[in-house]
Structure 1
Amino acid sequence: MAQESPGVRLVVVHPDKEVLAEAAAARLLTRVLDVQSVRSPVHVVLTGGTVGIATLAAAATSPLVRAIDWSGVHLWWGDERFLPDGDADRNETQAREALVDALVAGHGLPEANVHPMPGPSAVATPEEGAAAYARLLAEHAGDDGASVPAFDVLLLGMGPDGHVASLFPGHEGLEATGTTTGVHGSPKPPPERVSLTFEALRAAREVWVVAAGSEKADRVAAALRGDPVTEVPAAGAVGQARTLWLLDAQAAGTGA
């Protein structure tokens, strides 16, 4: 089932979270392949969360992985827990285990093209991590004066409270300027994080919000009807060319 606003938003509903992850993986790999036929490099922003990591794990087993020239792909993250390198709760660690390490080891993805957000292994504070990541993003933004690459796909999970990346309802991070921000007092542990801002999210060519579970249905509906981002940050996650909402039936409010 799909509902479309031409050129603006597409809502795709899958029967369950397993099918959602498999379909999102196939869609992601196909999109990278299609973009690569017209331009290079390709910039993709990864997300954590149950469905986000399941999507990466599904991508790892797809034959489409072999069709992509991974030497021309750069991987970024939308947010990260401010934890040491290799910590099991880091989005980077989970993504590496699900997909990224396999791409580096067997499919030609250069380690230099993998851009994790710095943690306390490299910097002292979330603010220092955010500043370092902002500089790295600017280095890859091209020559048009942009501060971030025009991400070809920016994946986001959404929490039951409607947060995306580490931008939480009513939190001061919603007002952050620039492309990255250090986060303190996150309502979801751990309290310290690094996140892209709305400015960076909205620079993406395509934003994909992936969500599953009945506990998210109310916030999905609120975001889709355009409630204020102070209450539902996901409502502000909008791509330049297209915004995809990839849902299971429960998150869409149509499941049992």
Structure 2
Amino acid sequence: MVTLRRPDTLSTLLDQAATSLIDVVSSLQTTGGGRHGDGVARLVLTGGGAGIGLLERIRELEDADSRIDWSRVHVFFGDDRNVPVDHEDSNEGQARDALLNHVDIPEANIHGIGLDGGEMEEAARAYEQLIEELAPKGFDIHLLGMGHEGHINTLFPHTDAVRETQRLVIAVTDSPKPPAERVTLTLPAVRRAEQVWLLVSGKDKAQAAKAIVDRANFEEWPAAGAEGTADTLLYLTDDAATAL
């Protein structure tokens, strides 16, 4: 089941999601809970306008009143382009600029995919092993943006990547959205998260948002296959809700 949250604008969405994420992380740290019961938050970040905007808003809130113990946060990435981290297209690089370089998170707790423009399969295998070691029970929150056709991470409609059922991380050489070479977490990895949060804004995403709510075929609408073990939150602005 999808829990629908209805901010009116993207700005309101970012405010609500940032506040909620800080609440969830600080609460599990205080209680010693979380997916692994150790008070350590394991988060998967996403790129795109909403994903990076959310990180910027978290930074603003933490600058004003820090409530998160960043030494007990491990950060992973839903996907990344096959470029070095200092490239403008790097999701990790954008996340560092927006948030991670500005909070007291240990470098060892930032788990990038390690792409550099070269061969990707080895990096995908290594990242899968890293997830198995550091997040064997899954993630606390997996953040997801969404494209107009319903893609999440690098999981596009009617592709081998969205149909993957075993591996947690795979290399993609033919992404419909350039650049073509990427490494992505798969739906099996997404579904290991306790909470999945979809951040959706824009009138061009209305049909895909309806597909999420209707739990449509995930091969046609990949975002419809994203669900958490405890909750699936859809943050949906007014302009993206016109098809509901």
TM-score under structure 2 length normalisation? 0.92
- Number of aligned pairs? 236
Name 1:3's counterpart in structure 2: none
Instruction: Pick the aligned partner of 2:21 from 21, 28, 44.
Output: 28
1:182 counterpart = 2:183: no
Q: Report the RMSD for the aligned CA atoms in angstroms.
A: 1.6
1:158 counterpart = 2:146: yes
Name 1:129's counterpart in structure 2: 123
Name 2:212's counterpart in structure 1: 223
Counterpart of 1:11 in structure 2: which amino acid?
L
Name 1:116's counterpart in structure 2: 112
The answer to whether the Cα contact below 8 Å between 1:118 and 1:132 also exists between their aligned partners in 2 is no
Instruction: Pick the aligned partner of 1:168 from 142, 156, 160.
Output: 156
Matches of 2:225 and 2:147, distance apart in 1: 14
1:15 counterpart = 2:14: no
How far 1:80 moved relative to its partner? 0.7
The answer to whether the Cα contact below 8 Å between 2:163 and 2:219 also exists between their aligned partners in 1 is no
Matches of 1:154 and 1:73, distance apart in 2: 13
What SS is found at the alignment partner of 1:75? Answer: strand
Matches of 2:179 and 2:85, distance apart in 1: 15
Matches of 1:11 and 1:35, distance apart in 2: 23
Name 2:67's counterpart in structure 1: 67
Name 2:190's counterpart in structure 1: 201
Matches of 1:161 and 1:9, distance apart in 2: 19
Q: What CA deviation, in whole Å up to 9, does each residue of 1:165-205 have, x standing for no partner?
A: 11000111112221101011101010010000111100000
Matches of 1:128 and 1:160, distance apart in 2: 31
Long gaps (5+) in structure 1: 1-7, 142-147
Matches of 1:254 and 1:97, distance apart in 2: 35
Matches of 2:173 and 2:243, distance apart in 1: 36
Long gaps (5+) in structure 2: 33-38
Q: Given the superposition, is the C-alpha separation of residues 19 and 254 from structure 1 closer, same or farther in structure 2, using an over 3 Å criterion?
A: farther
How far 1:254 moved relative to its partner? 7.5
Matches of 2:97 and 2:146, distance apart in 1: 21
Q: What CA deviation, in whole Å up to 9, does each residue of 1:61-85 have, x standing for no partner?
A: 1047611111111011111111122
Q: Given the superposition, is the C-alpha separation of residues 100 and 65 from structure 1 closer, same or farther in structure 2, using an over 3 Å criterion?
A: farther
Q: What CA deviation, in whole Å up to 9, does each residue of 1:79-128 have, x standing for no partner?
A: 1111122111111111111101101xxxx31110000112126xx32222
Runs (4+) of structure 1 exceeding 2 A deviation are none
How far 1:151 moved relative to its partner? 0.8
Q: Which moved more, 1:19-28 or 1:207-216?
A: 19-28
